[in-house]
Every structure is written in structure tokens, then in C-alpha cells.
Amino acid sequence: MNRLPARPIIAIVAVVLVAVIIASTSGGTSAAQRSVPPGPPGPKPTIVPAEALTPAPTPPDSRRVAILTLDVASNADGKLEAVKLAKGLIIHSYAPNVFGREGEWTVSLLTREQKQLSFGIVDPRRVEFFDSSNEKQSVGTALLPDVTFDLVVPLNDPTGADLGVATITITDQHGQQVFTTPVLESEWSQSK
């Protein structure tokens, strides 16, 4: 009785299986590649179950952000008096997508090549509040006299390229410079 040799059969089966697996993963529907057309889409995505703990990705490259903890003080009339740096920290992290965003205040980044980048932030003293009872909703804002807030500044662009940020400056809604600091690489790069 003629029998096919076992090894070639196993090899063929393995190649087919590998090809099927590769095809199903590389050409499939990665969430990062899917797009949703306008209009009623399919079922709503569901959040992961509580047992599923996949840490947020860390950058594969050396990209970093500076986190400036700033104390903002106003006088009795609510006029801005001072913005002071309480703490600076540089960490390895992805950055928020802030460039191109506008706001009441403007954060300007001056690079070592004298190029200027900027993004807007809401006046850090401003708090917006919401109440609701039954169907009625109340909304408004107020300016707090003294606040401490964290300003996250990208030191790399979204592709990971170093922006070479040398100076960080903040101007208020009146165009007045209220804060400036050089980027203190060594001092801010110490551990948390």
C-alpha cells in the first residue's frame, strides 16, 4: 500500500496553518485600522471586563513630557498676581495632543532653534460647575483666586522627534506674559 511520507504532510499542514494565521491577523480587522462610516454604526463597543488589565502603552522611543506644577495667585479683586513654579518633572511618556488647540491662555514653547510652538489652555483659575435637579440644569463658571495646576508640555512631536524646547512661556487672555521658565532638564528629570 502506498503511503505518503509523514514529514511532508506535516510540513504542508504547518505551512497552511501558519499562512491562515498570518492572513487572519495581518489582513484582518485591527481596531486601529477599522473605520466607522457616518450614520448609525454597528453595536456599541463594550468596555473591557474588570479582570482585563492591559497597561497603557509606554513609548518605544525616548519621548518625554514636562509636567509643571504651577501656583496661581490673585489679589482680593480677582486680578492675577503671580504664577510660580512649584515643581518641575520630566517623564518618559506620550503627550496629550495639544498643538493647534486654542484657549483663554496661551502656552508658548521656544525651541533651541528659535522656533515657536504654542497651544491654548483654559484660564487655570476658571472652574466650570454643573448642577442638575430633575430636568433642569444649571451651569456657570467662576474664577478661583488661588489654584495649583499641572501643565503638561510635550517635549517631542507626535512622531517622537525631539522638539528641542528651551523655554516655556504663558500669556493670559490680555496678552500679558504671566510666567516663563527655561526647561531645566537635569533638575526636572529626577525620579518621581
Partner 1 sequence: MASPISRSVDRLRALSRVFAALAAVTLVSLACQPTFTASTVTAPAFGTTVFSGIVWQSTPSHAFNVVIVPGTGYGDQSVIANRQAFLNDAATVIGQDFYQNNAIVSNITKIDFYFMLPATNGTVAAGTGVCPAVTWPNLTDAAFADAIILLHTNNLRDCAWGNKATIYVGRRVVAVHEFSHAVWGIPDEYCCDGGYWGKAPIMYASQAACTADAANAGWRNCLRVPDSTCPPTADLSPPNWWRSEGNNDNIMVQFCGTYVQYGPSNWVVIKQRLQSLPGAGTINDPSVFAPTTWNWP
Report d(CA 15, CA 10) in Å as an integer: 9
Return the C-alpha cell found at 110: 521656544
Return the residues of window 120-139 that contact partner 1 according to CB under 8 A.
Answer: 120-124, 126-132, 135, 137, 139
Residue type at 132 in one-letter notation: S
Return the C-alpha cell found at 146: 488661588
Q: Which is nearer to partner 1, 1 or 114 (CB)?
A: 1
| Residue 48 within binding range of partner 1, rule CB under 8 A | yes
H or E segment to which residue 103 belongs = none
| Residue 175 within binding range of partner 1, rule CB under 8 A | no
Give the contacts of 189 (CB within 8 A, at least 6 positions apart).
Answer: 90
Phi, psi of 167 (to 5 degrees): -140, 140
CB of 3 to partner 1, least distance (A): 12
| Residue 46 within binding range of partner 1, rule CB under 8 A | yes
| Residue 10 within binding range of partner 1, rule CB under 8 A | yes
User: Counting Cβ atoms within 10 Å, is residue 123 exposed (0-12), middle (13-18) or buried (19+)?
Assistant: middle
Q: Which stretch binds partner 1 (CB under 8 A): 76-84, 110-118, 147-155, 162-170?
A: 147-155
Among 30, 134, 186, 190, binds partner 1 (CB under 8 A): 30
| Residue 85 within binding range of partner 1, rule CB under 8 A | no
- The Cβ of residue 66 has, within 10 Å, a number of other Cβ atoms equal to 24
CB of 136 to partner 1, least distance (A): 9
Strand partners, 70: 85, 149
Tell me if 117 sits within 8 A of 106, measured CB to CB: no
Binding-site residue total for partner 1 (CB under 8 A)? 81
Among 73, 117, 147, 166, binds partner 1 (CB under 8 A): 147
CB of 164 to partner 1, least distance (A): 18
